[in-house]
Amino acid sequence: MISIRRYLTQAVMGLVLLGALLSGLAAWLITKHELEEMFDAQLSQFGRIVTGMIDINMDSQDYQALADRLTQPGHAARFYSMEDSDDAGLVMDTHSVNTPRRFREEERLLSLGFWNSDLTPRMLSAEWNDKGPFPPPQKTGYRWVSYDNEEWRVFSIYDKEHGVWVSTGLRDDFQQELVNKILLGNSIPFLLILPLLGIALWWVIRRGLRPIDNLSAEVSRRYHQDLTPIEQDPPRELTGLRDSLNAFIERLRMALDRERRFTADAAHELRTPLAALKIHLDNARASEQDHQSSLDKARQGIERLQRVVDQLLTLARVERTPHRQLDVVDLYPIASELAGEMWPLAGRRRQQLEMSGLSSLELRADPTELGVLLRNLLDNALRYTPDGGTVTLHLDRANGQPMIQVIDDGPGVPDESLEKITERFHRANQRMTGSGLGLSIVKQLTQRQKATLAIDNRQPHGLIVTVIWPVLQPS
């Protein structure tokens, strides 16, 4: 699995680089556009100044002198004859009185030209004569001109008074070179500081993730019996994780406590019938006259032991079986079938097992668990109801909610024991045989089915166990 620290470092550095590239691209486009506008303004200003300096008395010598001043090393400015338009392109004098020089290398990217009113060249500065005369102007304003495999930004203006066109030009390289220098000047410091930025980000992320390491270290240092809550005060983002861990620890502690109590109670409940069984078998072996009575008691002990084991297994299955999808079932057929199965048990003690209420009651539950729940309720009621008593299974609705009630006329439960009656191995009447697990199983099953369990005494005696399921919503 990828490291969070490495992932954050790489992700943040990637975002920083992406942001730098996008900002650099935006800066390049904005700078290029702004420089275009600024250079256009300078070209037009330069063209107006040159046009304003033209004199009507300027002759060939003046234009030749201007050409001499604009000549650069390797690139001659040229004056074209004005005496005969057919001779346009023939140079009158190509020798400069001054040695050509450049004060700045960028001068080669600037140029100036004059054209007659008939668009024949009059004087063209350096760079605009290398491949023949530079293309003449077409109209007043800005335009892009391709010349000698280069792109020129040209501003042209016509002087009507002197009948001359003036064009000022700037090669695209000048603007591009300036933009590149600006971007390079801004990028080099960033590139130099990038490694330091990466180290700083790694340190900040490592420091920011330190609380996770501390929390992990505290959990890993604990031994298996230490189930105390985590007291560390983590950052806000880890508070939910700490609380979840503490809640899990608390649930685990409660589960282990239940298992310990269950193990202790089960051992106690199994030890008692086993000890009694051993005594009765010893009596049967030692006494030849009363051995039948001892064997009968031993059989009763075996039956009680079998019941305890069966209910322990049932409770273990209930607690360990994952929650299953609840289905819509009709309770009446399940209840009538169970009542029929338990009728012989009631008949042996001359008890009446009755059903009353609705003949159809749909609810949402697991059919298997529902059968176990009803079986334990009926078995518990029959066991604590005296001979000749009555147990009633009543099916009804309470405020639209499916409800069953198991009503017996047994001794009931002392009021102080009502809250504990669903605890494991708790028997309110110690004189009756039983394991104290029946109602505990019922409680577990009602919780799994999102139902509510209520146990109340009835007058003059007896017990009413009520289970209410949620309202059945249409699927």
311-320 contacts: CB < 8 A, separation 24 or more? Answer: 311/435, 311/437, 311/438, 311/441, 312/266, 312/435, 312/437, 314/372, 314/376, 314/437, 314/441, 315/424, 315/437, 315/440, 315/441, 315/444, 318/369, 318/372, 318/441, 318/444, 318/445, 318/448, 319/444
Residue of 242, 263, 312, 51 whose CA lies nearest to 163: 51
Angle at 247 (CA atoms; ends 243, 253), nearest 5 degrees? 145
Which pLDDT band holds residue 426 (cuts at 50, 70, 90)? Answer: low
Its domain, for residue 421, covers 325-468
Identify whether residues 277 and 365 lie together within a single domain. no
Q: What is the mean pLDDT of residues 5-15?
A: 84
* CATH code where residue 342 lies: 3.30.565.10
Least trusted range by pLDDT, from 69-83, 185-199, 417-431? 417-431
Residue 270 CB burial class (10 angstroms; 0-12, 13-18, ≥19): middle
Identify whether residues 342 and 457 lie together within a single domain. yes
Q: Which residues of 219-252 are buried (b: 16+ CB within 10 A; e: fewer)?
A: eeeeeeeeeeebeeebeeebeeebeebeeebeee
Q: Please tell me whether the overall predicted TM-score, pTM, comes out greater than 0.85 for this model.
A: no
Identify whether residues 162 and 39 lie together within a single domain. yes
Residue 410 DSSP class: S
pLDDT(143) > 50 = yes
Would residue 419 count as lying in a domain? yes
Q: What's the helix, strand, coil split of the chain in %, to 5? A: 50, 20, 30
C-alpha to C-alpha distance for 232 and 357, rounded to whole angstroms: 58
Identify whether residues 35 and 174 lie together within a single domain. yes
Please report the pLDDT score of residue 267 as a whole number.
64
Would residue 4 count as lying in a domain? no
* Number of folded domains that form the chain: 3
What's CA 208's distance to the chain center, in Å? Answer: 20
Would residue 8 count as lying in a domain? no
C-alpha to C-alpha distance for 61 and 79, rounded to whole angstroms: 9
pLDDT digits (tens, 9 = 90+) for 198-243: 888 888 888 888 888 888 888 888 777 778 888 778 788 778 888 8
Identify whether residues 392 and 415 lie together within a single domain. yes
Identify whether residues 361 and 403 lie together within a single domain. yes
C-alpha to C-alpha distance for 23 and 144, rounded to whole angstroms: 28
Strands 362-365 and 352-357: unpaired
Domain end (from 261, 294, 320) = 320
Would residue 306 count as lying in a domain? yes
C-alpha to C-alpha distance for 96 and 71, rounded to whole angstroms: 8
Domain end (from 283, 298, 320) = 320
Average pLDDT, the chain: 80
Identify whether residues 277 and 383 lie together within a single domain. no
Helix, strand or coil, per DSSP, at residue 89: coil
Q: What is the mean pLDDT of residues 22-45?
A: 84
Helix, strand or coil, per DSSP, at residue 353: strand
Would residue 230 count as lying in a domain? yes
* CATH code where residue 230 lies: 1.10.287
Domain end (from 179, 195, 210) = 179
C-alpha to C-alpha distance for 307 and 434, rounded to whole angstroms: 8
Which pLDDT band holds residue 317 (cuts at 50, 70, 90)? Answer: low
Q: Are 381 and 442 in contact (CB under 8 A)?
A: no
Q: What is the mean pLDDT of residues 179-198?
A: 81
Does residue 402 or residue 216 have the better pLDDT?
402
Which pLDDT band holds residue 308 (cuts at 50, 70, 90)? Answer: low
Identify whether residues 232 and 362 lie together within a single domain. no
Would residue 193 count as lying in a domain? no
Which pLDDT band holds residue 84 (cuts at 50, 70, 90)? Answer: very low
Identify whether residues 307 and 348 lie together within a single domain. no
Would residue 185 count as lying in a domain? no
Identify whether residues 311 and 365 lie together within a single domain. no
> CA 442 → CA 74, 314, 438, 439, 453, distances in Å?
108, 11, 6, 5, 8
Name the packing angle between helices 210-221 and 172-208 (round to 10°): 20
* CATH code where residue 72 lies: 3.30.450
Share of the chain above pLDDT 90, in %: 16
Identify whether residues 341 and 314 lie together within a single domain. no
Q: What is the mean pLDDT of residues 32-52?
A: 86
pLDDT digits (tens, 9 = 90+) for 321-373: 666 677 888 999 989 988 888 888 888 888 999 999 999 999 988 887 888 88
Q: Which residues of 108-145 are buried (b: 16+ CB within 10 A; e: fewer)?
A: bbbbbbbbbeeebbbbbbbbbbeeebbbbbeeeeeeeb
Identify whether residues 119 and 249 lie together within a single domain. no
Residue 232 DSSP class: -
Would residue 11 count as lying in a domain? no
C-alpha to C-alpha distance for 286 and 362, rounded to whole angstroms: 58
Q: What is the mean pLDDT of residues 166-180?
A: 85
